[in-house]
Amino acid sequence: DTGVSQDPRHKITKRGQNVTFRCDPISEHNRLYWYRQTLGQGPEFLTYFQNEAQLEKSRLLSDRFSAERPKGSFSTLEIQRTEQGDSAMYLCASSLRTSGMDEQFFGPGTRLTVL
Edge-to-edge, what's the strand order for the sheet holding 65-68? 5-7, 19-24, 75-79, 65-68
> How many binding residues for other proteins (CB under 8 A)?
27
CB 101 to other proteins: min, Å = 6
Residues 49-88, one symbol each (x = binds other proteins by CB under 8 A, - = not), give -------x--x-----------------------------
Q: Which residues contact 77 (CB under 8 A, 6 or more apart)?
A: 20, 21, 23, 34, 46, 65, 66, 67, 90, 92
Q: Given the rule CB under 8 A, which residues bind other proteins?
A: 2, 4, 33, 35, 40-45, 48, 56, 59, 91, 93, 97, 99-109
